[in-house]
Amino acid sequence: MTPGPIGEICVIYSTVPKVRSKELARRLLAKRLVACVNILPVRSLYRWNGEDCDEEEHLLIIKTKKDRADRVISTLRGMHPYEVPEIIALPVIAGHLPYLAWVHGETDGS
C-alpha cells in the first residue's frame, strides 16, 4: 500500500467531556472517517462568557485523510455537547510512511 503525498494526512484535535470521549471516538471509527483516535486526559484553563474555567477533559487526537477532515469536523460537531467545541485540524508535514499508508487504508471507505 503506497500512501499519497504526506500532505494528504491531517490530525484533528478536539477536547471533550471525559464521559463522552470513548463514544465519540468509536462513532468516528465506525463511520470509517478516521483511522485512529488517541484519548488523553487534559486540564483545560480558559475563559468562557467572562468567567475563568478550569475543566478536566479528554483530548481526542484524531488521524484521518485531509479530504475527510470536513466530514470529521461536521460529524464531531453534530455529536459534541459543547456550544463552541474546540475542533482544530493540522496538516501532517512528515511521518513514518508505513503508518501514513495505514491511515490511508483505514479511511478509504472500502
Domain of residue 53, CATH code: 3.30.70.120
* Residue 98 in domain: yes
Partnered with residue 12 across adjacent β-strands are 62, 89
Q: Could you report the per-residue pLDDT of 98-109, keeping only the tens digit for each?
A: 999 999 899 986
Over range 32-38, report the average pLDDT: 97
Q: pLDDT at position 20, please?
A: 96
What residue type is assigned to position 66 of the chain?
K
In a domain, 26, yes or no: yes
Output the CA torsion sign for 20, 24, 30, 34: negative
Q: Which domain holds residue 86?
A: 6-106
Q: What is the pTM of this model?
A: 0.90
Q: What is the pLDDT of residue 108?
A: 81
- Give the whole-angstrom CA distance, residue 28 versus residue 64: 10
Number of independent structural domains in the chain: 1
47-96: pLDDT as tens digits? 999 999 999 999 999 999 999 999 999 999 999 999 999 999 999 999 99
In a domain, 1, yes or no: no
Flag whether pLDDT at 5 surpasses 70. Answer: no
